Amino acid sequence: MSLSAAQKAAQKNKKKKESGRFLQGVKTEMKKVIWPTRKELINYTVMVIVATLVVMAIIAVSDAVFAELFQLLRVVIG
């Protein structure tokens, strides 16, 4: 079942209209966004970096403790 040239053109126009509506909706929604100020952005960035470093330190300490425990267990079991 083949589409005629007119049907293909109609489908193409429909897709263009849908794309245009989508992009218009994106533009409208982006205007509603409350963007952070430069100071807020810097504060949030610092908080993320600090939180990442804290989690990294916790994981590193846990890894070292478990490595030592397994090493002692290996010595005890032989």
Domain boundaries, the chain: 1-33, 35-77
Tell me the pLDDT tens digit for each residue of 26-43: 999 999 999 999 999 999
Q: Per-residue confidence at 4, pLDDT binned at 50, 70, 90?
A: confident
* Whether pLDDT at 54 is above 90: yes
pLDDT of residue 48: 99
pLDDT of residue 1: 56
pLDDT of residue 36: 96
pLDDT of residue 11: 78
SS (H, E, C) the chain: CCCCHHHHHHHHHHHHHHHHHHHHHHHHHHHHCCCCCHHHHHHHHHHHHHHHHHHHHHHHHHHHHHHHHHHHHHHHHC
